[in-house]
């Protein structure tokens, strides 16, 4: 990455002075670039404009303050918003829910340091923001299981390496599930379930929401009930479809190798992690695609 070292200095400077007001000119001056050149390479390398990054990064740092007893108006002012209304609008755009709903599950630590060289090696396709923390009640999914072997897969989290090579992306199973079970809620749930007795094997489950629990399930399909759980929900960066599988795999690696070690959470092994795909990954409708990864979590203080 040609400009990684220079842009790393800018990103570190933003983090170290997160409450300051920045302009493109200010940031460009720090590394001796013109505003135009700086904006162009920043978007090319990071995946978003400098001001989009600054705004998003401020909100990620604000999460730690939201876990304290500070008033929401005070937090909004600390991060450069003239009112809570403006802060709330920006927050909801990034995290999908209002600050008031998110506050009870905010992390009590600052976001992990962004390291551009590592993100490049992970091939995420961009910066991964702090996750949404949401609670979901129990639900049931119906679908099909596929037995896999980890011959060229280092972890069951390398799901795309499996479905990409097994033809699951051709739409056949997806079409069959929607035709058979006609769910009104659109979205596919993908689980990787390791074998307890053979570490070289795992079960890959591809399903949709089962909205008719009393309806008999044909023998060729299976059901899985997901217990009520609190999740950290990560969104993959928006990328072109040819980079999508790498982005999903890289996001998994980032979560496990970088986010968890710096968070106050551990994985809740009593539930399932899963990948969720909806219209946002339809490359025939969108130039850039993304998906979500749901990780069941609990506070580290609760024990493993």
Q: How many domains does the chain have?
A: 2
Does some domain include residue 153? yes
Predicted confidence at residue 222, as pLDDT, reads: 92
Contacts of 176 by beta carbon, 8 Å cutoff, 6+ apart: none
Does some domain include residue 19? yes
Does some domain include residue 197? yes
201 and 248 in a single domain? The answer is yes
Predicted confidence at residue 292, as pLDDT, reads: 94
Predicted confidence at residue 150, as pLDDT, reads: 53
Strand partners for 208: 142, 188
Predicted confidence at residue 259, as pLDDT, reads: 85
Ranking 77-91, 145-159, 256-270, 289-303 by mean pLDDT, the lowest is: 145-159
Q: What is the DSSP string of 117-179?
A: HHHHHHT-SSPPPPPEEEEE--EEEEEEEEEEE-SS-SSTT-HHHHHHHTTGGGSHHHHHHHH
- Is the C-alpha dihedral spanning 115, 119, 120, 126 positive or negative? negative
| Residue predicted with more confidence, 132 or 25 | 25
Judged against a pLDDT cut of 90, whether residue 104 lies above it is answered with no
43 and 152 in a single domain? The answer is no
142 and 251 in a single domain? The answer is yes
Would you say how long the chain is, in residues? 304
| Residue predicted with more confidence, 104 or 94 | 94
Q: Per residue in 180-237, pLDDT tens?
A: 999 998 899 998 877 666 556 778 889 999 988 888 888 889 999 999 999 999 999 9
84 and 147 in a single domain? The answer is no
Cβ burial 68-105 (10 Å sphere, 16+ → b, else e): eeeebeebbebbbbeebeebbebbeeebeeebeebbeb
Q: Tell me the residue range of the domain where 223 lies.
A: 134-302
The pLDDT confidence band at residue 161, using thresholds 50, 70 and 90, is very low
Q: What is the CATH number of the domain that holds 255?
A: 3.20.80.10
96 and 145 in a single domain? The answer is no
25 and 58 in a single domain? The answer is yes
Nearest CA-CA partner of 203 in 176, 233, 240, 166: 166
**pTM check: above 0.85:** no
């Amino acid at each position: 990455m040609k400009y990684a070292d220079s842009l790393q200095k800018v990103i570190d400077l933003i983090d170290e002075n997160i409450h300051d007001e920045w302009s493109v000119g200010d940031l460009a001056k720090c590394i001796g670039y013109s505003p135009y050149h700086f904006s162009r390479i920043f978007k090319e390398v990071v995946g978003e404009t400098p001001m989009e990054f600054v705004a998003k990064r401020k909100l990620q740092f604000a999460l730690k303050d939201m876990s304290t007893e500070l008033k929401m108006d005070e937090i909004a002012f600390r991060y450069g918003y003239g009112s809570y209304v403006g802060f709330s609008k920006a927050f909801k755009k990034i995290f999908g829910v209002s600050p008031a709903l998110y506050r009870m599950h905010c992390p009590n630590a600052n976001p992990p340091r962004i390291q551009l060289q590592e993100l490049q090696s992970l091939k995420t396709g961009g910066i991964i923001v702090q996750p949404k923390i949401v609670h979901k009640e129990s639900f049931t999914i119906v679908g099909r299981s596929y037995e896999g072997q980890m011959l060229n897969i280092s972890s069951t989290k390398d799901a795309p390496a499996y479905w990409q090579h097994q033809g699951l992306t051709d739409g056949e199973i997806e079409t069959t599930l929607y035709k058979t079970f006609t769910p009104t809620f659109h979205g596919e749930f993908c689980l990787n379930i390791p074998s307890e007795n053979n570490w070289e094997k795992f079960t890959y489950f591809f399903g949709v929401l089962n909205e008719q629990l009393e309806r008999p399930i044909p023998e060729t399909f299976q059901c899985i009930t997901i217990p009520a759980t609190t999740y950290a929900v990560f969104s993959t960066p928006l990328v072109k479809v040819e980079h999508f599988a790498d982005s999903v795999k890289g996001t998994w690696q980032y979560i496990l190798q970088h986010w968890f070690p710096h968070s106050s959470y551990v994985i809740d092994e009593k539930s399932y992690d899963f990948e969720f795909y909806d219209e946002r990954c339809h490359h025939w409708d969108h130039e850039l695609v993304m998906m979500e990864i749901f990780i069941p979590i609990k506070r580290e203080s609760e024990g493993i």
